[in-house]
Amino acid sequence: MKLSPFDYTGPLPAERVTGRDELVDDLIERVTARRPTALLGPRRFGKTSVLTKIAADLTEITTVTIDLMPVQSPHDAVRALMAALLDADAVVAAQAESISATLGFNIAVLRGELRATRRSQQPDPTVAFSNLIDTLVKVALDRPTLIVFDEFQQIAAIDNGTAVLRTALQHHYKDVGLLFAGSQPSAMRDIFANPTQPFLFQADIVEIGPLSLGAVVDLIADGFRRTERTPGAVASLIHEFTGGHPLRTMQAAHAAWQHADDDRADQRWGEALSSLRTAAQPAVSGLYEQLATDRQKVLRLVASARPLFGVEADQLRLSTGGAQHARDRLLAEAHLADRNGQLALVDPFLADWLRRERPVG
């Protein structure tokens, strides 16, 4: 049995990243020129895959990635730094152990203290975080290094985390490559554009956008060719439905491929689309039901291409203040995006479900 060439279960390995050449080249140029850069985009938009591709392409540079996704507390932040220093690369781990000793602490002992079950035996996370940041910077100065902070907005979980990091890095911007990635665009912009923040104007801001039609055509043509199936014009149908959303494009391509075992994929697109809607319904409806009522109303209006202020909003009993607050929260949480002054739902599957199940007008 042939396996689908369209894997949507997680970040792609470097060799499978397609349609992002221009973005990857741009980011490599920035970080190799030692220009700190912030990569912004919604979750499941391919940022981690792009970061993996960059690390693979920079063969003469060591990449140290700090994954802040699970960070919800200061101790979590310390664990994330510890994992980056000790678990990813044996050479980096050896350097970190040696350097930590010169800074007056034992990184191996610190790891053991983090696992302590009694609060009194656990380390002060503020001190540990500062020590680990100093260790990270000294490791990076030892040889050409790119430091990647993935889901950087989570650093807010530790008090003064950005200030500690800024202090450690401020004299080394030309010595170390720095790439900050985050899936909450509003929070990320606040870190780099808010006058009260230590990182004000300290990084170029780059947004990761949807896949272009050309990229989707190439992606689907390659997958179908490798598995000896015929796509027909299905790539255009998929792009029209997903708007180039990377995850949703891969899911749609997988569904189209599954239904094209004995026919052209575009001729079976209706069946593929029906299966996509059935599979997506529990997740998108569940997400919708968890949102506050005003946010639900704003999503319905945007999905149906209706203004947030007017007759339809009045019919939904959505006040002007309620609409503004809900819109701002949905933008901050990346459920909505501002595309050239026009609001749009980030998730095309949710937008499709709303138009069919919760239409306005």
Which of 68, 302, 15, 65 lies closest to 188, judged by CA?
Answer: 68
pLDDT number for residue 311: 93
Domain with residues 20-207, CATH architecture: 3-Layer(aba) Sandwich (3.40)
Burial class (CB in 10 A: 0-12, 13-18, 19+), 236: middle
Residue 292 CA to its chain's centroid (Å): 24
pLDDT number for residue 123: 84
pLDDT number for residue 238: 98
Token pair 């996509």 is at which residue?
276
Per-residue pLDDT tens for 153-200? 999 888 899 999 999 998 999 999 999 999 988 899 999 999 999 998
pLDDT number for residue 1: 65
Cβ atoms < 10 Å from Cβ of 165? 24
- Three-class SS state of 338: strand
The reply to whether 291-361 shares the fold of 20-207 is: no
Per cent of the chain over pLDDT 90 is: 80
Per-residue pLDDT tens for 192-247? 999 999 998 899 999 999 999 999 999 999 999 999 999 999 999 999 999 999 99
Domain boundaries defined on the chain: 20-207, 212-281, 291-361
pLDDT number for residue 12: 84
Mean pLDDT by 10 residues, the chain (361 residues): 85 88 96 95 91 94 94 93 90 93 89 77 88 95 94 92 93 94 91 91 93 95 95 97 96 96 93 97 97 98 95 95 96 90 95 96 76
Q: Kindly write down the DSSP assignment for every residue of 21-67, as one continuous string.
A: HHHHHHHHHHHHTT--EEEE--TTSSHHHHHHHHHHH-TTSEEEEEE
Q: Which fold has domain 291-361?
A: Arc Repressor Mutant, subunit A (1.10.10)
- Three-class SS state of 336: strand
pLDDT number for residue 13: 87
